[in-house]
Amino acid sequence: MNVAVIYGGKSGEHEVSIISATSIVRNLSQDKYTVLLIGITKDGRWFFQNPSQVKEVCENPDALLRIEENKESAISLVPGGGTKGGIATARGSIAIDIAFIVLHGTYGEDGTIQGLFDMLAIPYTGCGTMSSSLAMDKEKTKIVWQSNNLPVLPHVCLHKDEMTKNTAAYNALIKKAEENFGYPLFVKPCSAGSSCGATKATTSKELYKALKEAFSWDNKILIEPAVNVREIECSVTGNKEEDIKAYIPGEITPSHEFYDYDAKYLDPQGAVLTIPADVSSDQREQLRTLAVQAYKALDCTGLSRVDFFIDKDSGELYLNEVNTMPGFTSISMFPKMCEAGGLKYTDLLDLLIDLGLKRFEDKNSLQTSR
């Protein structure tokens, strides 16, 4: 079976994607799969990579996948025409049995590449087009959860064009956040991952600086109260009601002021990961139940990591966000929580491939014309 690992991407999480993809390639069963490598540059160009990189990263624990660019390996995508599609380079065409999408953030988790592969009739791992795009937008995620009576923190949403087109309304929303929530506040882009552009503001001056930073990442941002919280995460896998499973929740205790990009990926001591999270058995089951409800509300398939806040002062539990392609690095919580629940890394990858193929088969069985 040809498994095309897609990594890199036009995203602020490009480097993280490479690290995640390297870890996945090391753990894919070489007996079951022929691993193909497709690297996407920071400016969005696709290149087929030399298969020797697979052997290199499997034999050298310090090696990372690269994205090598040359004209002969530039990729054209081949539609499936009702069957499975593939790729073509100057050297010829290659069929893809399934694409293992390891792209984090923009153009990877936002439904764009999922929609592309749907059109090409190429099966892929993870969530589909709609759930990916919904989960990428933190405001839309909150709206869906609220409509399903799931607990979320209050928020104010700002649009960049309101700064100039409707200044009075824009300033009124900022004032609303200040008056209703008080300081400190969290400011974050609606559609950026790995805490890119997220800032904590303790004063009005810091707030306007935080708004500028967040708007450099997205045209729509959220302001939320910076509640004193514990950060809890839960891995979820599955496509349908009967096979959706939430694993043992874990806890992130950042050594930084909050769990920012550096703490997640650059600083080995950036956070302490505790699995299982130190919560009561009743609360553990509540977290797992809420994780499944949040996953189903967004119509997720394949996998997602559901993130929670627990207010340290009140004990209240809130859903924070869903990450449809969580980190798969050696220190990432998603595979660690699955392993704590009895699902080893290699078996997890097998499951995700199987779920992706089943979702493709289910979708292809539907009538598309009269």
d(CA 279, CA 257): 22
- The pLDDT assigned to 165 comes to 85
- The pLDDT assigned to 102 comes to 98
- The pLDDT assigned to 265 comes to 53
Q: Please, which pLDDT band fits residue 242 given cuts at 50, 70 and 90?
A: confident
Coil, strand, or helix at residue 175? Answer: helix
CB contact burial 170-181 (16+ within 10 A = b; e otherwise): beebbeebbeeb
- The pLDDT assigned to 258 comes to 57
Three-class HEC string of 109-142: CCCHHHHHHHHHCCCECCCCHHHHHHHHCHHHHH
**CA-to-CA separations, 166 to 171, 173, 220, in angstroms, rounded:** 9, 11, 15
- The pLDDT assigned to 166 comes to 86
Q: What is the mean pLDDT of residues 332-346?
A: 96
Given a cut of 60, whether residue 101 has pLDDT beyond it is yes
Q: Is 11 a catalytic residue?
A: no
Q: Mean pLDDT lowest for which of 98-107, 284-293, 361-370? A: 361-370
Two structure tokens written together for 231: 């950060």
Domains of the chain: 2-124 (3.40.50.20), 134-151+228-343+353-364 (3.30.470.20), 156-225 (3.30.1490.20)
Of the candidates 190, 229, 183, the one whose C-alpha atom is nearest the C-alpha of residue 208 is: 183
Q: Please, which pLDDT band fits residue 68 given cuts at 50, 70 and 90?
A: very high
**CA-to-CA separations, 97 to 8, 84, 131, in angstroms, rounded:** 20, 7, 22
Provide the annotated binding site for ATP: 138, 186-188, 194-195, 224-231, 320-321
Could you tell me which residues are beta bridge partners of residue 191?
A: none
Which listed residue (17, 191, 235, 332) is catalytic? 332
Q: What is the mean pLDDT of residues 70-74?
A: 95
Provide the annotated binding site: 138, 186-188, 194-195, 224-231, 307, 320-321, 323
To 5 degrees, how large is the angle CA 304–CA 145–CA 343? 20
Instruction: Please state at what angle helix 345-364 crosses helix 333-340, rounded to 10 degrees.
Output: 100
Residues 6+ apart with CB under 8 A from 44: 9, 10, 107
Number of CB atoms found within 10 A of residue 280's CB: 8
Q: Is 332 a catalytic residue?
A: yes
Which listed residue (11, 13, 20, 131) is catalytic? 13
Higher confidence at residue 260 or residue 160?
160
d(CA 38, CA 63): 17
Which listed residue (17, 191, 194, 304) is catalytic? 194
Q: What percentage of the chain carries pLDDT values higher than 90?
A: 81
- The pLDDT assigned to 340 comes to 95
- The pLDDT assigned to 177 comes to 94
Q: Is 257 a catalytic residue?
A: no
Question: pLDDT by residue (tens digit) across 264-279?
Answer: 555 566 788 999 999 9
Q: Is 315 exposed, middle or buried (0-12, 13-18, 19+ CB in 10 A)?
A: exposed
Q: What is the mean pLDDT of residues 88-109?
A: 93
Beta strands 34-40; 2-8: pairing state: parallel
Question: pLDDT by residue (tens digit) across 116-164?
Answer: 999 999 999 999 999 999 999 999 999 999 999 999 999 999 999 988 8
Given a cut of 80, whether residue 110 has pLDDT beyond it is yes
